Chains A and B, each alone.
Chain A
Amino acid sequence: MADLRNNFVGIKSPNPFWLASAPPTDKAYNVERAFKAGWGGVVWKTLGEAGPPVVNVNGPRYGAIWAGDRRLMGFNNIELITDRDLQKNLQEIKAVKMAWPDCAVVVSIMVPCDEDSWKAILPLVEETGADGIELNFGCPHGMSERGMGAAVGQVPEYVEMVVRWCKQYSRMPVITKLTPNVTDVRKPARAAKNGGTDAVSLINTINSIVSVDLDSFSPNPSIDGKGSHGGYCGPAAKPIALHMVAEIARDAETNGLPISGIGGITTWRDAAEFMALGAGNVQVCTAAMVYGFKIVDEMISGLSNWMDEKGYRTIDDFVGRASRNVTDWQYLNLEYITKARIDQDLCIKCGRCHIVCEDTSHQAIMKEKNGVRHFEVMDNECVGCNLCVNVCPVEDCIEMVALPPGTIDERTGRVVTGKYANWTTHPNNPMRKSVEPAE
């Protein structure tokens, strides 16, 4: 049996599945239900400074996009940080941590970007006995208009400064939560590291307008006919998050910095992918908001079975195993030559591979053979792009097969060498160097 116990910057939890700071972690009621359901930890919904709490809109605050059969693919919100009283939250955090000592309780914080504000709140949080803090530098709407959230997260100097204060005025582990609304996520990550952060977590939500009401011409969610950009998350955001996690994991300056992976995680497989790219644990928001807390059962069972199957005893056995395989385009092997292969027994003859290759790719799939409907790849045209694989409705019906060394690529007439060769040394590259290995 795989051991799912997680130790993230000294914070222990029975499994690597935490709930991200968001409505599922807004109060003791939800958090206790989550722990009962089996979640390993929570990051409490972001606390603000003492005084009257923020107010949320009273109209709709969420929006979504759907795939077929109304399966939710992307989720968007214009919600702010907690709109509950600070003292009430602190009391509940303390009580919950006391009742659930084995589960991780991390507190998310966002206060104005000045030293006094941070100095004021940190001891209050520390007093709850919480396991650590997460700095919310990500909220892309509302709070950012007030100079907080993403407004801080987008300026590396501010990130470094605030992290420094937190390390100075608190003994708790600090996790810095990054915004994806930047051109290069490595900059704020490096800044957080320079400030002394224990870890980064990412991603927070992405700036978005989820849809437009074509009757009222208001963006959705519509508040009395007007809308504002919101934060986008859920399955559709996962690829963006994976990339950002990988960039930080393989950056020379931040390599080795613990990462809590967030963004679109819905199944055990998503979680395993984040961890393979370097995340030491994962956080989930949308999937819980769409299906309820029970989904953690599937995540635990799926991850555990996969680890057993692969022979990984602990999570550390596979964390980061994929990050070493993330490289720059220029280092990809141009001598790796693939062709699409259609399994005729699985093919249901929908013709989609043919039409997409014909209309938009390389005219490499025939639609007829001996006068009958038949779909087959013509190696002399196929560039191995994978489009047909992506559109085929039958799983594993089309496979990309690498040509073995010594065979001839019928498209180019060249013999497959089986040797590694990339763009940096390619004759067509005006800036080519002599042979250089991959990173």
Chain B
Amino acid sequence: MGEGALKDGIAAGRLGADQYAANFTDLHPPLDRHEAFVEADRCYFCYDAPCQNACPTSIDIPLFIREIVTDNPLGAAETIFEQNILGGMCARVCPTEQLCEEACVREAAEGKPVKIGLLQRYATDIAMAAEAQFFTRAAPTGKRVAVVGAGPAGLACAHRLALHGHDVVIYDARPKAGGLNEYGIASYKAPGGFAQAEVDYVTAIGGITIETGKILGEHFSLSELAGRFDAVFLGLGLGGVNVLRADGEDAQGVDSAIDFIADLRQAADLATLPIGRKVVVIGGGMTAIDAAVQSKLLGAEEVTMVYRRGKEQMNASGFEQDLAAAKGVTIRHWLAPRRIVVRGGEVAGIELSYMALDPAGALKPTGETTIIACDQVFKAIGQTLSTDGEGVQLAGGKIEVDAEGRTSMPKVWAGGDCATGGDDLTVTAVAEGRDAAESINRTLMGL
């Protein structure tokens, strides 16, 4: 039996310490001052800028880039944080190639958009390192708001409510605040404990108390909260994981990609994390990519992503797919899991059906099957709401909200992944949390 990378089965310590460190550093190293000036100079300061319109939080991108050019990075950071208080995390994790940078006119002009994400990071890093706070709270209103979930939606909502002078208590089920910023985002996108530093930066405005380990539905009910507070915001995210409905799903070695990533994010020493020699990841979204890439980075020898439809239908962006390929992940399309091949209670492989669209456009197995040998399988086939809604109306498995984030229940708003509307992205969660806060403020203040 081999050692390290070649060790069969699921094993820890496949790599040397240096290798772990190298594999999990910043995916995109930050721009230094010179690089930022050169890049910022490329911006045309567009009118009604397409990049800004493509940003879910509508950051005034031409303005903040101009502030960078004129060596006013704190001004740039203020411009960013005015719209998006989690501008630091968004600068790291936004799929810019599908958002602002896709819309950048230099993409049309020469196929090379201005590197908006990296410039945003340049400005926000400087401001956060300087602990520069740009916002002061309005006079206290005496109103109290409960926010459930300390992810991007909850944090953005809490910050905006605190700004308007309300007092906020955030409850979160997990031991740490940050939501998927802390437990989900790929570790090479936000290394160095950035998620916690950002929670501190956001809450430094004052008026926000975070209570971790407090679970809605267990420690209190929604109606209880609504009774105790003037308003409630639900930013629960999607805690549940879809079931595969394939034989052998409970075998040793079949795991949730989300749990795997959370463990990875929380690991004090990556060498203690076990990973299979041959890993199969089921799914076609960002989570699947992140699980596959990080399996590879932990030292798995072979990582295969299987997705039941074609490349075009994958939720993961072209950039993410290329990243996976560059890291050595094999992506296979038109394959759906049929059963897990189990030997001695452990995973030995996965049997997959070839899929195709029938003339009516429905996805159907072709009848042919194949087996990929593996010792670990990660499921990344989508997340679901972990609660039954506690009385608020659901739609399509999410909490139904209107354009302002109001739910069917009076005094209760919702936003982020748990709520209808928008893509499941960090930046969208921030936008929805912020806008719900404005709506709550208008309601509480009778505006």
Mark contacts of B87-113 with chain A using CB atoms, 8 A cut-off: 1 yes-contact digit, 0 otherwise: 000000000000000000110110000
Given A352-B44, A393-B44, A394-B109, check contact A69 B38 (CB 8 Å).
Answer: yes
Contact of A393 among B48, B49, B109 (CB under 8 A): B109
Contact of A350 among B37, B41, B44, B69 (CB under 8 A): B44
User: Which of B44, B47, B108 gathers most chain A CB within 10 Å?
Assistant: B47
Contact A351 B48 (CB under 8 A): yes
- B108 contact set on A, CB distance < 8 A: 348-349
Contact A69 B41 (CB under 8 A): yes
Mark contacts of B31-70 with chain A using CB atoms, 8 A cut-off: 1 yes-contact digit, 0 otherwise: 0000001100100111111100000000000000000010
A66 → chain B closest CB, angstroms? 10
Interface status of A167 (Cβ within 8 A of chain B): no
- B38 contact set on A, CB distance < 8 A: 69
Interface of A (DSSP majority class) = mixed
Contact of A351 among B37, B46, B69 (CB under 8 A): B46
A394 to B69, CA, bound (A): 21
- B44 contact set on A, CB distance < 8 A: 350, 352, 393
- A354 contact set on B, CB distance < 8 A: 47
User: Which of A70, A349, A352 gathers most chain B CB within 10 Å?
Assistant: A349
A87 to B69, CA, bound (A): 50
B53 nearest in chain A by CB position: A373
B interface size (C-beta, 8 A) = 15
- A68 contact set on B, CB distance < 8 A: 41, 69
A157 → chain B closest CB, angstroms? 48
Contact A373 B109 (CB under 8 A): no
- B46 contact set on A, CB distance < 8 A: 350-352
Contact of B105 among A69, A349, A355 (CB under 8 A): A349
A352 to B46, CA, bound (A): 6
A349 to B46, CA, bound (A): 8
Contact of B47 among A70, A348, A367, A393 (CB under 8 A): A367
Contact B50 A373 (CB under 8 A): yes
- CB proximity to B under 8 Å, residues A339-386: 348-352, 354-355, 367, 373
Mark contacts of A392-408 with chain B using CB atoms, 8 A cut-off: 1 yes-contact digit, 0 otherwise: 01100000000000000
Contact B47 A355 (CB under 8 A): yes
A67 to B271, CA, bound (A): 50
A355 nearest in chain B by CB position: B47
A312 → chain B closest CB, angstroms? 35
- B45 contact set on A, CB distance < 8 A: 352
Contact B109 A352 (CB under 8 A): no
A70 → chain B closest CB, angstroms? 8
A393 to B106, CA, bound (A): 10
- A349 contact set on B, CB distance < 8 A: 50, 105, 108
A232 to B50, CA, bound (A): 40
Cβ contacts A to B, 7 pairs, < 8 Å: A348-B105, A348-B109, A350-B47, A351-B49, A352-B45, A352-B47, A393-B44
List 15 additional contacts besides A354-B47, A355-B47; criterion CB under 8 Å: A68-B69, A69-B37, A348-B106, A349-B50, A349-B108, A350-B44, A350-B46, A351-B46, A351-B47, A351-B48, A352-B47, A355-B48, A373-B50, A393-B44, A394-B109
